[in-house]
Structures are given as C-alpha cells and as structure tokens.
Structure 1
Amino acid sequence: MALTDNTRGALLMALAMASFTVNDAFTKSVTPYINTGQILFVRGLMTCALVYVIARHMGALRPIKTLLRPIIVLRCLCEVTASILYLNALALMGFANISAIMQSLPLAVTLGAALFLNEKVGWRRWTAILVGFLGVLIIIRPGPDGFTTAALLVVGSVFVTAGRDLLTRRMYTDIPSLTVTMTTSLVNTLIGAALIIPFGGWQPMDGYVWSHLFAAAVLVVIGYQAVILSMRSGDIAFVAPFRYTSMIWAFSIGYFVFGESLNSWILLGTAIIIASGLYTFYRESRRRQPPIAKTSTRIQ
C-alpha cells in the first residue's frame, strides 16, 4: 500500500525527532569532557564523511557554486548558531527541560512567518503563541534575578532554529536534501574548529567520547535528511505536529538515562506548549482549506 505524502512526511518527522533526541543524549553525555567547539568539529567531521559517501553513491554531489547559494548559506549559519546555543544549554540544563522548551519551536515558526513572510495570523493563533510561551515560562520559572544563562541559550536556540525552518520552506526544490545536509555539516565543522581554542582548547578523547560522537554523527545525518524530506513531502500543518513525538523520547531518556525527575511544573508547561502548538496547526490547516461553495436549496 502506497503511503500518501502526508503520511510519509509524518513518519519522516517522527524519525527525525527520534534521531535528534537520541543524538542529543549522546552529545550531552560527552559535554563534561570536551567543549562545544570540539563537539561541533569532531561530530561535524564525522557527519561530513558519512554524507559525502552517501551523496557520492546516490549521485547527489553538486558543484561548489550550488552549495554557495545565499539561501543555503543563510540556512547553514542559522543551523550552526542554533547548535552552539543549544549545546551550551545542554551542558547546563536538564535533558527533559531543554527538550520541553524546544517544543515551542512550531510557535516560533508561526511567529516568524507572520513577522517576516507576511503570513496572515489571526487573533486566535496570536493567543495560542502567547499561551505557548507562557508554558515556556512555567518550565523555566525565572527567579528574582531573571532568566538563567541556560534558559536564555535554549530560548535563543528556539528562535534561530525557527529561522532555519522558514528558510527550508523557501529553498529551491532542485536542491537535493543531501546537498543541504553536506553544506550544513561542513559549516558546523569549520566553525567548530574555530571555536575550540576560544572555548578552552582541545581536550583528549577516549573511546567513550569517540564512540558517542560517532553515534551522534550517524543520528544527525538521519535527522537532517528526515526533517528536510518531511518538510518537502507533506503539508506542513499535518506534518509539523509530529515534532511532539520527541517528548516521548526526551522524558524516557531524561528519567532512565540521566536520572531526572519529572515534576508537575515541567509536565504542566509541556502540556500547555503542545496544546498551543496543536491548536496553531489546526487553525493553520483551517485557514489553508479552500472555502466551500454555498449551494442554493431554492427550486428554479
């Protein structure tokens, strides 16, 4: 039985979220041993090698001028900036907490579409966005001194990642997803190398660190491919809600791997964010539906 475009997109999004979440777990496990720049460099180098082999096998390699298209370069810069912010937050904040806050990403995408792409957003979706970010505040619970560094880092990562997703929607359809993944990995590697010394210098790595970073690299490749293909396959209003499947993985990993407790605040905040996001997707799908023509019951 052939899958519909929406079903294929939803499955790919679920796969992407599982890949990224487990990748985050592997990455978080090495943050006590090496700095953010070194993580980006080593993981990026491995990712580049994997993507190059796959792209060459599939005939998806493109001339360098294709990789330097402005929209691809800008998307890559958003990706690497989000990675830097996120990795630093990952070292400072609980795994389940940071994953829950990242669920506000669809709301940030809607906000960005309204502000920068002139997409019409009604008062209902604006309300949903505000309520969703209230859920973020419930999870963060800023104290008398305001937001913590980790909270600012992860919220910044949300908005920069939203910019990446908006650019993905605007990319030319003739650009292979492997080309985008290859370029993103290359930029991550180069910027990671430049940040190693400013972030504390190169640290020796044992088998534990190497193996975890290799596993993370494999999952990053799968995640990059899946999320790009999912955004191109199905209707975004149908596909995007499947981002929330990542919380199944995040809560499980946070509890069983990192020994984190799930308090009532994080559960409440997550529920508010997800409910707001689902309502936003619902309103967006309603807005995109063609109007139903009215029929007359009068006998002519």
Structure 2
Amino acid sequence: MTEPITPLSQPEREAAAERRSQLIAIGMILLTCLCFSILDATAKYLTTYSHLPPLQIVWMRFVSHLVIAFFLFRLWAHPEVFRTDRPWLQFVRGLTMLGTTSFNFLAVQHLQLAETMSIFFAGPIVVTALAGPLLGEWAGIRRWAAIFVGFIGVLIIVQPGSGAMHWAVIYSILSMLCYALYALMTRMLTATNSTIGMLVIPAVISSIAMTGPGLAVWVAPPDLFHWVLLLSTGVWGGLGHWIFIAAHRRAPAPLLAPFTYLQIIWMIGLGFLVFGDVPGSSTLIGASIVVASGLYILYREQVVKKR
C-alpha cells in the first residue's frame, strides 16, 4: 500500500517557497547575462559590419531604453521617481553608467567579446578595493590578497609591454573602472531612492549628454534590419537591468553574484557564432584567475558578515 503523504509544516512550506524563489532568481540572472551579452554582440556587429560610429550606438541605446521605460512605467503619471535627496551623486552615477557603456562599445569594436568581458570581471575586485576609502567598508588581508591575484589575472589578459597587447584594452579598463564607481554609488543611493528612479535617471542623463555627440557622428543605418538592431540595443540594455533588479527582489545579492560570471560563456558563444572569434589561452587563463579571485572575495564578505 502507498503510504499517505504527510503535509508539510509551515516552516517547511516557507523553506520550499524560498528555494523556488531563489532558483527563479538564478534563472533570471542567467537571462540578464544573456541580455547584456546580446547587447555587446549587437554593438560589435553594428560597428564592424554596419560601420556605425560607437557614440551613435551609445546614444540610441539610452534613447530607446528611455522611451521603453517611459511607456512601461508610465512615467508621466509618476514624476516622483525622479526625486532624489542626493542629486549630484545621481548625476555622477549617470555619467559613470554612460562611461561604462561608451568605453565598452569602443572596446568591442576592436577586441573579442571574451576579452572585454574578462577585463570587466575585475569590476567587483576594484569595488572591494575602493569600498574602504569611499564607504568605510575595509577589506581584510585575505581579500586584499585576492585583489592582488585578480590584478595578476587582468595582466595576463592584457599582456602589457608585449606585442600581443591591443591598445583598445584601455577602453575595457576604463569601462570596468566606471562600472566599479557606478556600483559603489548605487550602493550609496539604494537606501533612499526608488528602484525605477535608479533605472531611469541614468538613462535620462546619458541620453541628454550623448545627443550632441550622437548627432555629430550620425550615419544612417543601411536598411531596416540594421535599424532594428540599432534600436534593439535599448531593449537588451533596459530589459537586462530590469530583470537584474527583479532577480534581486527574489534572492540576496551574495547568492546571485557568482552566477554573473557565467556571462563569459554567453560571450564566448556569441563571439564564435557571430564573429568566428576563438579566445586565446591568455584570455581563458586570465579570466579563470579573475573569476576565482572574485568568487573568493564574495565568500570572504559573507564570512565577515556572519561574525
């Protein structure tokens, strides 16, 4: 005879619901990584095959992002999302997001997607290094050791002083540094600013800031297909950020952060399928070191918080 199914207790049901929510959040993070990977691949395609200027693509990425957000969130009915108690910090945060995107699009014009992403993975390492002087969150000796190891990984990817180093890695490094500052300022603002405002305000600032440069270098896309690709940059960027925020509503950041490193898989796959790029051994080795050091930093942060 089949034994009767014992109903779950309230704590067991809550634990099961939390596990489901976490699994959904992990899936959303993987989808976020796919969106950002497609965004970078689209930007590289437009600069490589359509010969569109990177600054034009940056401008349209934020303009289309803003138009989508305007109708999706009905911003005309919710002007309060633009209120902030620290307007100058929001303004600088918007500029760092613009810098992240601009330098990255300039980099993918010359580098493989896997190369740019491998360097970008050093962002959490830089955040940890800067969190002490900017936020008072000082890293211990073990995390500083991981920062040093991660820096070695970046050097392996970049190979400074060798003939293999492409000058465009400077763009990737600048993009990564802008992202680190963007992440730190986001942490400083999340307690008092709305989620939608945090998503929309940088798009407004970037759209306005890039209107002049974007129009100055404007080149008309050759056909409807390339117009769709150009406008889709805002879709992939905005959708990626929206899913990222939704994922963090379902699960804590320390649980989700390690899965963002899986974006390298998307980038390698798209780089091979779309551009026929195969990452070199130095990129793979350096990326492995950077990822390992980043994961260790995340682990040590959790250990410190539990004390």
| Range into which the TM-score falls when normalised by the shorter chain | 0.7 to 0.9
Match of 1:80 in 2: 98
Give 2:193's aligned amino acid: I
Match of 2:7 in 1: none
**Contact 1:17-1:245 at 8 Å conserved across structures:** yes
Q: More deviation in 159-168 or 188-197?
A: 188-197
Match of 2:227 in 1: 210
1:245 has 2:262 as partner: yes
Give 2:139's aligned amino acid: V
Aligned-pair distance for 1:57? 7.8
Alignment of 1:211-230 (within 5 A): 211-230=228-247
| Whole-angstrom distance in 1 between the partners of 2:269 and 2:165 | 26
1:2 has 2:20 as partner: no
| Whole-angstrom distance in 2 between the partners of 1:6 and 1:117 | 28
Match of 2:275 in 1: 258
Runs of 5+ in structure 2 lacking a partner? 1-15
Aligned-pair distance for 1:58? 11
Note closer, same or farther for the CA distance 1:165–1:178 as it changes in structure 2 (3 Å cut). same
Match of 1:100 in 2: 118
Note closer, same or farther for the CA distance 1:251–1:146 as it changes in structure 2 (3 Å cut). closer
Note closer, same or farther for the CA distance 1:260–1:161 as it changes in structure 2 (3 Å cut). same
Match of 2:193 in 1: 175
Give 1:29's aligned amino acid: Y
**Contact 1:82-1:156 at 8 Å conserved across structures:** yes
Q: Give CA-to-partner distance per residue, 1:42-75, whole Å, 9 cap, x none.
A: 2222111100011118965426544973332221
| Whole-angstrom distance in 1 between the partners of 2:263 and 2:131 | 23
| Whole-angstrom distance in 2 between the partners of 1:236 and 1:247 | 19
Aligned-pair distance for 1:215? 2.2
1:26 has 2:42 as partner: yes
Give 1:165's aligned amino acid: A
Q: More deviation in 129-138 or 35-44?
A: 35-44
Aligned-pair distance for 1:260? 0.7
Alignment of 1:112-127 (within 5 A): 112-127=130-145
Q: Give CA-to-partner distance per residue, 1:84-134, whole Å, 9 cap, x none.
A: 211111111111111111111111111121232121211111111111111
| Whole-angstrom distance in 2 between the partners of 1:60 and 1:226 | 21
Note closer, same or farther for the CA distance 1:75–1:57 as it changes in structure 2 (3 Å cut). closer
Q: What is the aligned counterpart of 2:305 among 281, 285, 288?
A: 288
**Contact 1:9-1:230 at 8 Å conserved across structures:** yes
| Whole-angstrom distance in 2 between the partners of 1:57 and 1:226 | 19
**Contact 1:36-1:192 at 8 Å conserved across structures:** no
Match of 1:297 in 2: none
Give 1:280's aligned amino acid: I
**Contact 2:154-2:286 at 8 Å conserved across structures:** yes
**Contact 2:112-2:271 at 8 Å conserved across structures:** yes
TM-score by length of 1: 0.86
Query: Alpha carbon RMSD of aligned pairs, Å?
Result: 2.6
Alignment of 1:191-210 (within 5 A): 191-196=209-214, 201-205=217-221, 206-210=223-227
| Whole-angstrom distance in 2 between the partners of 1:232 and 1:81 | 27
**Contact 2:85-2:192 at 8 Å conserved across structures:** no
TM-score by length of 2: 0.84
Give 1:163's aligned amino acid: L
Q: What is the aligned counterpart of 2:171 among 153, 160, 163?
A: 153
Q: What is the aligned counterpart of 1:166 among 184, 189, 204?
A: 184
Aligned-pair distance for 1:180? 2.1
**Contact 2:69-2:75 at 8 Å conserved across structures:** no
Q: Give CA-to-partner distance per residue, 1:4-35, whole Å, 9 cap, x none.
A: 67656544433322211111111111113221
